[in-house]
Amino acid sequence: WRKKLEIVVLKLIVTRGTCQMLAKSEEKEVEVLWEDQANINTFGRLNNKQHELEVERKLKEEEINNLQDASNELILADDDDESPIQYHLGEAFILMNKENVEQFLEAEESRLRGDIDQINNQINDIKKTLAELKVKLYSKFSTSINLEESE
């Protein structure tokens, strides 16, 4: 009875990720070759690059939301009012009519969507490479290496 309880507790601890202890019988020393270290370093660099790209994608999506909000505000604006609109371009504001501002907003949104598509392609390529490296590294080091994301 006591052994069953200990096994259940150990399984809970391991599945929650709070402990990654190996039994003495599971521990093994594996020689790390230069090629292995290069793969580990590549994995780390690509993982960091993936996270940077995800942050960049999120920022661009927020920019698109802001552009859509501005576009919606232009739609709600009074069509009879012919006063110029201040369009923020770089560090300056340019006075433009409503139609030109709408065109600039559409063009900027289109550009950002293209950027997001490129970022998504880069992230997918990185994920494929990371999966290949995981297979290589886990096949050699099995439980001696942890390549999973920590929460």
107-142 tens-digit pLDDT: 999 999 999 999 999 999 999 999 999 999 988 888
- Which residues, 6 or more positions from 121, have their beta carbon under 8 angstroms from its beta carbon? none
Model confidence, pTM: 0.73
pLDDT band at 5 (very low <50, low <70, confident <90, very high): very low
Q: Which residues pair with 92 in a beta bridge?
A: 89
What pLDDT digit, counting tens, does each position of 59-110 carry? 999 999 999 999 998 888 776 667 788 888 888 988 988 888 899 999 999 9
pLDDT score, position 3 = 35
pLDDT score, position 18 = 37
Alpha-carbon distance 94 to 119, whole Å?
30
Q: What burial class does residue 101 get, using C-beta atoms within 10 Å of its C-beta: 0-12 exposed, 13-18 middle, 19+ buried?
A: buried
* 91: helix, strand or coil: coil
pLDDT score, position 28 = 62
